[in-house]
Amino acid sequence: MTSPEADPANTTPDTANPDTARWTFAGFRRGALDVLPFVPGITGFAMAYGTVAARKGMTLFEALLMSATVFAGVVQMVVLDSWPETLTVASVAGILALTALVNARYLMIGATLRPLLGGEPARKVYPTLFFLVEPPWLMSLRYYANGGRDPAHMLGGGVAMYVTWVTMAVPGFIAGASVGNPKQFGIDLVMPAFFVAMLVPLWRGPRRSYGLIVGGVAALATDILFGGFWYLIVGTLAGCFAGVFNDD
């Protein structure tokens, strides 16, 4: 991760005293501000979801309720796309299996949050985890690596993404039109670019980065061979096990 001096903007007063500054509004606001670069991408995605939901015959209330409860973009899109003709026990089980598969990466993402949230009371951590999505996860890992210790940072980022995701489905639903081509402005690559930027400080030389190398290669091979969503699970698990052989 980046060293503290690499990003002086991250050294806020509330992190200067890590033993006392917990669950502050300042930390919450900082988390919300940190995910701002992701807002255009999430907005485009939410509008696309709204459009698909309208086309599938959902009411606006149903579409927004799904966003407000499930709060998982890829899951919502995939499930809408494969919604069965009639709801039977088997077809509902299929929907739930797909939901679990698409979101299984969060099992691993959640595990990485132990060092950040482990010392906090469960009654605060578990509600916070409802808002766990990738942008606040990435930004919180960075915040923590830079010395930030306020868990409200994750909550702030998560709530900001939640509000964006739920509200921005409305224009998509009503207009039924997309915002043009997100590729034109590179918006579709904001998230991958953040992932790549995070990889650079995580690279600690080949003998200490087996997790990264094996994870990437295994994910790519799985994607090419099988397609679907398996690559995230296979790649992450393979990288995680390969990490055992990292030099200390």
**Smallest separation, CB 17 to another protein (Å):** 25
Contact criterion met (CB below 8 Å) for 143 and 155: no
**Smallest separation, CB 210 to another protein (Å):** 7
Contacts of 141 (CB under 8 A, 6+ apart): 1, 112, 116, 198
User: Measured from the CB atom, is 17 or 70 closer to another protein?
Assistant: 70
Q: Which of 120, 194, 109, 139 is nearest to 10 (CA)?
A: 139
User: Measured from the CB atom, is 2 or 167 closer to another protein?
Assistant: 2
**Smallest separation, CB 165 to another protein (Å):** 13
Contact criterion met (CB below 8 Å) for 44 and 197: no
- Count of CB atoms within 10 A of residue 150's CB? 25
Q: Which of 167, 98, 108 is nearest to 132 (CA)?
A: 108
Q: Tell me, what amino acid is at 124?
A: K
What is the C-alpha separation between 110 and 103, in angstroms, rounded? 11
User: Measured from the CB atom, is 27 or 41 closer to another protein?
Assistant: 41
> Which H or E element spans position 221?
helix 210-226
**Smallest separation, CB 153 to another protein (Å):** 16
User: Measured from the CB atom, is 25 or 87 closer to another protein?
Assistant: 87
User: Measured from the CB atom, is 8 or 20 closer to another protein?
Assistant: 8
What is the C-alpha separation between 224 and 144, in angstroms, rounded? 34
**Smallest separation, CB 11 to another protein (Å):** 14
User: Measured from the CB atom, is 18 or 119 closer to another protein?
Assistant: 119
**Smallest separation, CB 54 to another protein (Å):** 10
Rg (CA), the chain: 19
